[in-house]
Amino acid sequence: MSDLLLDISGLSAISLREGGNPILRDVSLSLKKGEVRGLVGESGAGKSTIAKALLGILPRTVKVTSGTMRFEGRDLLTMAPRDLSAIMGSDIALIPQDPQTALNPGRRIEAQLTDGLRLRRGMNARDAHARALQLLSEVHIRDPERVLKAYPHELSGGMRQRVMIAAAFSLEPKLVVADEPTTALDVTVQKQILRLIRGMQEAHGTAVIFVTHDLGVVAKICDSVTLLYGGKVIEAGPTADVLADPRHVYTKALIAAGPRYDRPDAGLEPVPQWVFDQLHQEIRTGAKEILHG
Amino acid sequence: MTAYSFFHRVLMAAITLFGVAVIVFVLLRVVPGDPIAMMISPGASEADIAALRAQYGLDQSLPVQFWIWLTSVLSGDFGTSISLRRDVLELLAERLPATLELAAAALVFAVVLGIVIAVTATLLSRTKLSPLVDTLNGLFLAVPDFVWALALVLIFGVLLPVFPLSGRINPDSQEGFATQFYLLESLLTLRFRDLADISLHMIMPVLALGLPLASIITKVLKEALAEAMVQDYILLARLKGMSRLRLVLQEALRNAIGPTIALTGVQFTFLIGGTVIVERIFAYPGIGNMAIDAVINRDLPLIQGLVLVFGALFILVNLATDALVVAFNPRMEA
Amino acid sequence: MSGLVSEAPKEAAMQPAAEKPAAHRSLGRALLAEPKVVIAGGFVLLLVILALFAPYIAPKDPLEQDLMLGTLSPVGGSTYEPGYYLGTDDLGRDVLSRLIYGTRIALTVAFVAAGLAALIGTVLGLVAGWYGGWIDTVISRLVEIWMAFPPVLLSILLVAVFGSGVHSVIAAIVIIDWTRFCRVIRAETMAQARLDYVTAARTMGYPRLRILIREILPNVAPVLVALLSLEMGIAVIVEAILSFVGLSVSSDTPTWGGMIAQGRQIIYQGWWVLTFPLATLFATVLAFNLLGDGLRRALDPVLRR
């Protein structure tokens, strides 16, 4: 168990805004060092609530009612704020969804990329500059000197997301939370960014929680996958097992709904209504999730 | 800002100023009521009146009068004030510095106060103080400079008589100044007694002019900061371990300040307009105070000169605002 | 003269009645449910009553001078004289009575100037926003040029041209401030014109003018009413400033601005001569501001829901 990095167990949360509506129901998932886990679900499934809880940025309207969230054995939910903020950004980093809004439009890339190095690692300006150059070339940015001097609006969406990836990996975190990092990008750029995240993750031995609604993305880069619906884990296990042998009707329906590269004439089937009815039934009765492997 | 767009803006400003000149001239030439009639003594003859008319160019046709007036204005001759019997340019040169010092001081005061309150309120945005700031500021927003000035007269003139009620400087302590920029000159020549005296005289007018502007800056900047503070880049900066103060000052303020500058520029022209009544209330010897006398006396040459000076001031403020907005926004370079 | 303006709120109430009876029934309640409307509206109503019935309400003749009764302090002061509740000025005129009579000029200017500015601005704004095309271009350019001219300059010029007097004050306010209404109403009209109910009305084949007046105007009314209330506050201040410097009505007529000017001069002998009209002026401006804000909230069908 020594290589267990993150262990979420029995996590439940309610939304105070919607009159105590549950938004996470007894969620458990674990992550080994260096593992890439996909967190899949439609909007409202609870995947981004989990990601926010991991980063300690849950909105005030969300209240965790039970469960633990152990990172290297220490529960993030009960940790003192000072200890928590020492971990956040340093041991746990975020690749945000939209690089457009994640970069401060009024500051140059260099200032934003070196903030963490200087604040967290106490680097001086010269060392931070050198490290920033190195990071940018690591994410395959061709003219790093120019990019460091640029303002965000001077870069393309793909370039900005590369900068965000460099920033996320800059402090050698143990866990990176990637919050749908490709949804705001052009399709052509998406693949490159996915490959880049996988490459960086392998090179640095970093574990990644990959939040997405796209099973196709999961198939490409995730070692394991957790499928959520209505705040509840539906099915989880190694990606290959789950995709090859989906046991829950919802998982089957989702796979059928995605494009099939092996049979272009099939696929794109909408998820039938009775599947949702069954899901709601299961949530009401508190049925067990399906675990592979 | 490129050379072309700068030139373009200056050209537009010049055209606007010319438009102001035309409108001023046309409006004042249709004034019902003959300014000459007010100047003559009861026993004046027709010939005397005609002579006066000729002296002020009032016997010519309108286009000719405009041409005479425009060429003389461009050559620095603004004519002679009818009520004060002095050269208009001389009067303006004498009074304008007082107004400039007052408006500039009020602007600095308002900007500093507005930023301090907006930033403090943003830092306190999750405490109970925040709605209090909003409510108070909402109330302050409704108080115009005229009401502020008189409330200050009551508070610091009567209730707690700490500041002088009128004028620009204590007449006894006057050693004489080389320029009309008393505040600046006493500061540069290190005459601290005069500096203190002038500052005391300026406090109430500066408050009256600056407080409404500070309220507006607070409101707009606070809203812009609140909007900036929920952006993803703030979240990421927070994850990098930035303190809240640094988040506001380094990350949010930079992006919130642009719209605030644009608005401050517009509002500063209103502040300059407000000097008219505020100078009147505090008997402060600037061009605003003079403008009221000029209107009461129907002193056409002086009114023309004053309106042109005010117009030029407004246009300069707008140009400067444009330049500042561009300077603070890296995205607008062309 | 302010016919359209005074009718606009009524239209707003009647029009939804035809389509949304529930909204109509709740209009009165919605107004009363908004504390700003009740408090500020109550204050404005009080002012209106004071102005209309000034001769019956005022305890003294506002013009009667008696130097023997000069600068009497208000109730509780050392030189208080019974009957002169708020004291007298240096000429022995009763401050309270002058205050009450001063309401007349203040409200006249507020209603007439703001009403006329709203009338002109609204008509031009509706026309520009609804018909578009060359007429919109002409009106929009006119507004732009107008707004490039700083209000203070324009008012100095206008009062210099018209001479002093309450008519000049009203004319100056109307000439300067109609653009506020025109700009906002034009934008609002254009926004409304894009909505489905307008398209529906057009497919019914109603004449364009009828759609403008019966369909669009009621929906623009909340904005208009709020703006009108704000403008009344502005007008009251402008009138006070011009009376203060002696460019409004002749000095015999009691005005708040005139009283303030007098109070400023005798500030050390009688603080009350300045304080009471200033406080009344501020309360009035605040009331119009609050009323505008409250009316906008109460009348806006979206906010009301």
pLDDT in tens, C41-61: 999 999 999 999 888 888 878
Residues C238 and C108 in one domain: yes
A161 close contact with B: CB closer than 8 A: no
In this complex, the residue of B27, B150, B310 whose CB is nearest that of residue C150 is B310
Bridge partners of A238, per DSSP, are: A224
Bridge partners of A83, per DSSP, are: none
Does residue B26 form part of some domain? Answer: no
Q: Cβ C153–B310 below 8 Å, yes or no?
A: yes
Q: Cβ B303–C157 below 8 Å, yes or no?
A: yes
Asked if residue C106 lies in contact with residue C256, where contact means CB atoms within 8 angstroms, the answer is yes
- What is the residue-wise DSSP string for A80-141? -HHHHHHHBTTTEEEE-S-HHHHS-TTS-HHHHHHHHHHHHH---HHHHHHHHHHHHHHTT-
Chains C and A touch (3+ CB pairs under 8 A): no
Complex ipTM value: 0.82
pLDDT (0 to 100) of residue B112:
96
Q: Give the C-alpha separation, C287 to C297, whole Å.
A: 15
Residues C9 and C128 in one domain: no
Q: Specify the CATH number for the domain of residue B250.
A: 1.10.3720.10
Which residues of chain C approach chain B closer than 8 Å at the C-beta?
145, 148-153, 156-164, 233, 237, 240-241, 244-247, 260, 264, 267-268, 271, 274-275, 278, 281-282, 285-286, 289
Q: Which of A126-130, B17-21, B51-55, C137-141 has the lowest mean pLDDT?
A: B51-55
Residue A287 DSSP one-character state: P
Asked if residue A169 lies in contact with residue A135, where contact means CB atoms within 8 angstroms, the answer is yes
The C-alpha of B16 sits at a distance from chain C's nearest C-alpha, in angstroms, of 8
Q: What value does the mean pLDDT take over residues A99-122?
A: 85
Residues C167 and C282 in one domain: yes
What b/e readout covers A198-235, taking b as 16+ CB neighbours within 10 angstroms? bebbeeeebbbbbbbbbbebbbbbbbbbbbbbbbbbbb
Q: Which of B18-27, B105-114, C229-238 has the lowest mean pLDDT?
A: B18-27
Does residue C118 form part of some domain? Answer: yes
Interface probe, candidates C36, C229, C245, C251, chain B, greatest B C-beta count within 10 A:
C245
Residues C27 and C160 in one domain: no
Q: Which chains touch A (3 or more CB pairs under 8 A)?
A: B
Instruction: Give contacts of A 50-69 with B, CB under 8 A.
Output: 55, 57
The C-alpha of B251 sits at a distance from chain C's nearest C-alpha, in angstroms, of 33
A19: left (phi > 0), else alpha (psi -120 to 50), else beta?
A: left
Does residue C81 form part of some domain? Answer: no
Asked if residue A238 lies in contact with residue A224, where contact means CB atoms within 8 angstroms, the answer is yes
In this complex, the residue of C148, C151, C274 whose CB is nearest that of residue B150 is C274
pLDDT at C173 over 70: yes
Q: Provide the whole-model pTM.
A: 0.79
Q: What value does the mean pLDDT take over residues A159-185?
A: 90
The C-alpha of A132 sits at a distance from chain B's nearest C-alpha, in angstroms, of 15
Q: Cβ C237–B144 below 8 Å, yes or no?
A: yes
Quickly tell me which residue has 């023997």 as its tokens. C68
Q: Which of A183-197, B42-56, B97-111, B184-198 has the lowest mean pLDDT?
A: B42-56
Model confidence band, residue C13 (pLDDT cutoffs 50, 70, 90): very low
Question: Per residue in B117-155, pLDDT tens?
Answer: 999 998 888 777 778 888 888 888 888 999 999 999 989
Q: Specify the CATH number for the domain of residue C264.
A: 1.10.3720.10
Q: Cβ A89–B239 below 8 Å, yes or no?
A: yes
Quickly tell me which residue has 């022209």 as its tokens. B269
pLDDT (0 to 100) of residue A144:
92
Mean pLDDT of chain A: 86
In this complex, the residue of C161, C260, C274 whose CB is nearest that of residue B28 is C161
Residues C29 and C111 in one domain: no
pLDDT at B217 over 50: yes
Model confidence band, residue A254 (pLDDT cutoffs 50, 70, 90): confident
Which residues are within 8 A (CB) of B60 and not within 5 positions of it... i.e. 6 or more apart? B68
Cβ neighbours of B329 in A, within 8 Å: 106
Residue C292 DSSP one-character state: H
Which residues of chain B approach chain A closer than 8 Å at the C-beta?
231-242, 250-251, 254-255, 329-331
pLDDT (0 to 100) of residue A146:
93
Does residue C70 form part of some domain? Answer: no
A181 close contact with B: CB closer than 8 A: no
Please provide residue C297's backbone torsions phi and psi, each rounded to the nearest 5 degrees.
Answer: -65, -45
Does residue B4 form part of some domain? Answer: no
pLDDT at C25 over 90: no
In this complex, the residue of C150, C157, C274 whose CB is nearest that of residue B154 is C274
Q: Give the C-alpha separation, A68 to A11, whole Å.
A: 6
Pick the residue with more confidence: C236 or A231?
C236
The C-alpha of B242 sits at a distance from chain C's nearest C-alpha, in angstroms, of 39
H or E segment to which residue A24 belongs: strand A21-32
Cβ neighbours of B103 in C, within 8 Å: none
Using a pLDDT cut of 70, give the percent of chain A over it.
Answer: 95
pLDDT at C192 over 70: yes
Q: Give the C-alpha separation, B328 to B258, whole Å.
A: 6
Which residue range forms the structural domain that includes residue B189?
A: 93-289
The C-alpha of B135 sits at a distance from chain C's nearest C-alpha, in angstroms, of 12
pLDDT (0 to 100) of residue C15:
40
Asked if residue C71 lies in contact with residue C88, where contact means CB atoms within 8 angstroms, the answer is yes
The structural domains of chain A, ordered by start, are 4-91+173-291 (3.40.50.300), 99-172 (no CATH)
Does residue B78 form part of some domain? Answer: no
Cβ neighbours of B314 in C, within 8 Å: 150, 153
Q: Give the C-alpha separation, C139 to B273, whole Å.
A: 26
Does residue B65 form part of some domain? Answer: no
Q: Cβ A104–B240 below 8 Å, yes or no?
A: no
Does residue C305 form part of some domain? Answer: no
Q: Give the C-alpha separation, B210 to B194, whole Å.
A: 23
Cβ neighbours of C245 in B, within 8 Å: 277, 280, 292, 296
Q: Give the C-alpha separation, B268 to C158, whole Å.
A: 22
Q: Give the C-alpha separation, B296 to C243, whole Å.
A: 12
The C-alpha of A220 sits at a distance from chain B's nearest C-alpha, in angstroms, of 27
Which residue of B lies nearest to A116 if distances are taken between CA atoms? Answer: B240
Does residue B51 form part of some domain? Answer: no
pLDDT at A255 over 60: yes
pLDDT at C126 over 80: yes
Q: Which of A207-216, A217-226, C77-86 has the lowest mean pLDDT?
A: C77-86
In this complex, the residue of A89, A98, A119 whose CB is nearest that of residue B232 is A98
Interface probe, candidates B147, B211, B269, chain C, greatest C C-beta count within 10 A:
B147
Residue B283, class by beta-carbon neighbours within 10 Å (0-12 exposed, 13-18 middle, 19+ buried)? middle
Q: Cβ B147–C247 below 8 Å, yes or no?
A: no
Chains A and B touch (3+ CB pairs under 8 A): yes
Structure tokens at B118: 């907006």
pLDDT (0 to 100) of residue A268:
64
Question: Per residue in B229-273, pLDDT tens?
Answer: 888 888 888 887 788 888 888 888 888 888 888 889 888 988 998
Domain count, chain C: 2
Interface probe, candidates C39, C145, C161, C229, chain B, greatest B C-beta count within 10 A:
C161
Q: Give the C-alpha separation, C15 to C239, whole Å.
A: 35
Residues C128 and C205 in one domain: yes
Does residue C102 form part of some domain? Answer: yes
Model confidence band, residue B60 (pLDDT cutoffs 50, 70, 90): confident
Residues C15 and C109 in one domain: no
Q: What value does the mean pLDDT take over residues A153-167?
A: 90
Which residue range forms the structural domain that includes residue C146?
A: 98-292
Does residue B160 form part of some domain? Answer: yes
Instruction: Count interface pairs A-B at CB distance under 8 A.
Output: 65
pLDDT at C281 over 90: yes
Nearest 5°: CA angle at A109, between A106 and A113? Answer: 120
In this complex, the residue of C152, C237, C275 whose CB is nearest that of residue B273 is C152
* Closest CA relative to residue B71, chosen from B29, B19, B21: B21
Pick the residue with more confidence: B32 or C124?
C124
In this complex, the residue of B32, B292, B298 whose CB is nearest that of residue C245 is B292
* Closest CA relative to residue A209, chosen from A176, A254, A256: A176
Q: Give the C-alpha separation, B179 to B177, whole Å.
A: 5
- Residue type at position A274: W
Does residue B186 form part of some domain? Answer: yes
Asked if residue B300 lies in contact with residue C142, where contact means CB atoms within 8 angstroms, the answer is no
Using a pLDDT cut of 70, give the percent of chain B over it.
Answer: 90
Count of all residues that appear for chain C in the document? 305
Cβ neighbours of A113 in B, within 8 Å: none
Q: Give the C-alpha separation, B209 to B317, whole Å.
A: 16
In this complex, the residue of B236, B241, B330 whose CB is nearest that of residue A119 is B241
pLDDT (0 to 100) of residue A202:
93
pLDDT (0 to 100) of residue B174:
62
Cβ neighbours of B284 in C, within 8 Å: none
In this complex, the residue of A90, A101, A153 whose CB is nearest that of residue B233 is A101
Q: Give the C-alpha separation, B1 to B15, whole Å.
A: 20
pLDDT at C19 over 60: no
DSSP reduced 3-state for A25: strand
Residues C269 and C134 in one domain: yes
Which residue of C lies nearest to B293 if distances are taken between CA atoms? Answer: C245
pLDDT (0 to 100) of residue C1:
34
Mean pLDDT of chain B: 83
Residue B159 DSSP one-character state: I
DSSP reduced 3-state for B334: coil
Return the number of other C-beta atoms located less than 10 Å from residue C235's C-beta: 28
Count of all residues that appear for chain B in the document? 334
Find the distance separating the first CA and the last CA of chain C, reported in whole Å.
34
Does residue B73 form part of some domain? Answer: no
Nearest 5°: CA angle at B307, between B306 and B309? Answer: 65
Residues C28 and C108 in one domain: no
Question: Per residue in A115-152, pLDDT tens?
Answer: 888 888 888 999 999 999 999 999 999 899 999 999 88
Pick the residue with more confidence: B16 or C266?
C266
pLDDT (0 to 100) of residue B334:
36
DSSP reduced 3-state for B1: coil
Which residue of C lies nearest to B144 if distances are taken between CA atoms? Answer: C237
